[in-house]
Structure 1
Amino acid sequence: MTKKICIICTSCDKIGDPAEATGAWAEEIVAPYRVWQKHGYSVTISSIKGGEVPMDQASLEPPFLNKEVEDFLLDDDAMKGLMESTPLADIKAADFDAFFLAGGHGTVGDFPNDPNLIALLEAAAAAGKVISSVCHGAEGFVNVKGPDGKPLVAGKCVTCFTDKEEYAVVKEKLVPFLLEAKLREQGARFEAAKELWAPHVVADHKLVTGQNPASSAAVAKLVAEVLSS
């Protein structure tokens, strides 16, 4: 039976005060989409509000605009998913084998406190679905409880955009909290690459996480491994 994966994206296009334009990070959607497409999976792109997914303009320009992203932008079928994303309220845990939270700084504005996302991930965790993220996608975990009533990440090996990386991009004052610190607070056993920007991915049973944009394809491949195990 064909595996079904839901990519969940932010609908937030500005953060901070004064507001700074942001959104989802292109590679973090495109690379996993292509990996899973090659595996023959059915991939649905969803977002908090539905409709057009706001993109961080920096992710669509050199040096971050790679050939894979360029090809995606010219693929009408793929782009339809980004332009007409499914509202998260219409997504049900029972309909998918795995959920993937794409990053981008927009997630800090809507992932942590969205009731639909919290309810969906708690239902997915209770049903034993694969739950995954890359970079700031893990913002969606901070208010999610596992089946045991503890934070979803408690006692789990996880990674995300590190606090050092946040300082390196000079956005530490734009975000409401530092994500790595928050996950550590919640009892996560945090892992990171030794060097900034190096790819790093980790799977703890059915929770799969990637550190940064460079980890996007690797985390998608690890999700595929977990799904086939």
Structure 2
Amino acid sequence: MTMFQGKTVLVLGGSRGIGAAIVRRFAAEGATVTFTYSGSQAAAEALAAETGSRTLRTDSADRDAVIATVRESGPLDVMVVNSGFAIFGDALDQDPDEIDRLFRVNVHAPYHASVEAARHMPSGGRIVVIGSVNGDRMPVPGMASYALSKSALQGLARGLARDFGPRGITINVVQPGPIDTDANPADGPMRDLMHSFMAIKRHGRPEEVAAMVAWLAGPEAGFVTGAMHTIDGAFGA
């Protein structure tokens, strides 16, 4: 598989779970891959050694650090923004500083990274942001801030598609449902509840999400932009 031979790819948030699957997919298809991590240094170093990728420590809550990482990565053919996190609990009890950090990671970082990447991207460049089906549907209490942040990415993609389209750059959002990762394991306590909402009653695999990202980043998706691509076993149907 050499679809991305000679292409330069940056994955923000690539050390674990979906991000690691995306790094593996692009590396397997011949790309030169750089990925960032925040707290998982051992996992990042192991993945870099496995895939021949380069890794950088970057706090996605730090706007200037995110912009610098994108800028210093040089002209990119593909950028994937996967970094993000969730806070659970009653909105009335949550720490406002933690909520603001969530917005910096989940909303501000994708916006500033996308704008910076587009400054130097060639025609045919691809930006893919990992959102969530919770941007469309939130069936349980305690995740309002997360749902808000993932809905915001929809407006980001629609708006930046207009700005970047004349230069031949696409931007899309991939919206996973329950995916088997450390953050949401297939055997976790929420499994039965989540599966009850789904037509395909299992967690998705990170590799399935990576495959959708690879298609959006490839030559067949040149006319696809400003769109949401949900991969959730009909969780949100």
Q: TM-score, normalised by structure 2?
A: 0.48
Q: TM-score, normalised by structure 1?
A: 0.49
Higher helix share: 2
